[in-house]
Structure 1
């Protein structure tokens, strides 16, 4: 099984992409990059998960948006359960400027056989997609009291928080089940750069690793060690339980 993480650019801009593979009872990092055009993103998906091959895709974006206005059910639940960690998510509705792109991306994955999976039979070959949100996932995976604030603020603070995320990926994911030890593969995590635009590029890639890992965690454990905010009809977000 392979697991793809897509930190999707909601309106425009580049998306972080990660491919993990389950083999030898652990996860291996196969690819980590950043692409911009939707066609290029889908070609990348097709390369790593050709038609008929089992695999899971976790997308950091609202790919199911049934409501014309207001806030989706999973958005409200994210604020309810994760607001205390500063991890409430951005509200989505069909009038949001990003809705057309994010929903279309989910539909393109469905056309490729990646059905939405707010329920799952763990550890079985299958082809699925889920929506994820890195902030609460990071809080639970790394047992934090609040989110890592690497998205906003002065560049020095963002670099410091992004460095912490990079360190947690290196040091803690090898201890989890399923285990991911990025130091064992042929691909290294990018260093934390100095300039703001370059920091954003690394942020997207590290977020995509969290997305791909959540896909693998969902496939491995199902509801035993994950929670679902919402459902198929109203939209949903998969979040690992605290480790």
Structure 2
């Protein structure tokens, strides 16, 4: 079983991509990179997941947007439950500039057999896709009092927050079930320039997405929250500290 994380560029910017492989109970990081064009992202997915293989793809983008205006139900629920952590998500509707791109990406995945899975029977092979949101996932997985603010602000401040995220991934995710083996990945120093920092941010976000995919497949609703459903749009978020709390 493979788990793909896609930190999708909502406009034309690059997307972070991560692939985890579960073999005999061991979850291993096998690829971590970025691609620009949607066609290249899909080719990368096709490379890692053959037509007869099972996989769950977690996308950080609104792939289901039923509403023409305003906000989706899951968007509102992130503010309700995670606003105190500064982890409410950006509202999505069909009239916003990014909507066509993100919706079509979900449809491309569906055409490859990846069905939306706001409900799942844990540890059942298949081809699935879900929407995820790294900020509340990071808060819950690592027991934080607020999000790590690595997306906005001075480069030096963003870098310090990314260093924290890097450390949490390397030190804490290997202690969870399923345990993540990083291998020789993530050994480079967090960069100092804005462009390189953004590339690192995209990759680490995609790795969080991929781990949430594995956590959802492994535990289902026992250790995850689902905000919304297939009709309203939905976001899958792990519960706290890897314990189901």
Q: TM-score, normalization: structure 1?
A: 0.98
What is the SS of the residue equivalent to 2:130?
strand
Task: Give ranges in structure 1 of 5+ residues lacking alignment.
Answer: none
Instruction: Assess, with a 3 A threshold, how the Cα gap between structure 1 residues 180 and 95 changes in structure 2: closer, same or farther.
Output: same
Q: Give the corresponding residue for 2:202.
A: 204
Aligned counterparts, 1:1-243, within 5 A:
1-182=1-182, 185-243=183-241
Question: Does structure 2 retain, via aligned residues, the 8 Å contact 1:66–1:94?
Answer: yes
- The superposition leaves residues 174-204 of structure 1 with CA deviations (integer Å, 9 ceiling, x where unpaired) of 111111021xx24335431010011000000
Aligned residues: 241
1:74-105 Cα distance to aligned partner (Å, 9 max, x none): 00000000000000000000001100100000
CA contact (8 A) 1:87 1:147 kept: yes
Aligned-pair Cα RMSD in Å: 0.8
> 1:86-136: CA deviations, max 9, x gaps?
000000000011001000000000000000000001011111000000000
**Structure 2 Cα separation of the partners of residues 44 and 23 of structure 1:** 20
Give yes or no for contact 1:190–1:202 (8 Å, CA) kept in 2: no
Q: State how far apart, in whole Å, the 2-side matches of 1:131 and 1:96 are.
A: 18
Cα distance in structure 2, aligned partners of 1:52 and 1:26: 21
Mapped to 2, the partners of 1:199 and 1:167 lie a distance apart of: 15
Q: 1:76 to 1:87 in 2, by over 3 A?
A: same
Distance in 1, Cα, partners of 2:193 & 2:24: 38
- Is the CA contact (8 Å cut-off) linking 1:134 and 1:211 kept in structure 2? yes
Secondary structure of 1:172 counterpart: helix
Measure, in 2, the Cα distance between the counterparts of 1:191 and 1:213: 22
Aligned partners of 1:142, 1:31: CA distance in 2, in Å?
23
For 1:111 and 1:121, the matched residues in 2 are separated by 22
CA distance in 2, matches of 1:94, 1:189: 40
In structure 1, how many angstroms separate the alpha carbons of the residues matched to 2:221 and 2:188? 32
SS at match of 2:58: strand
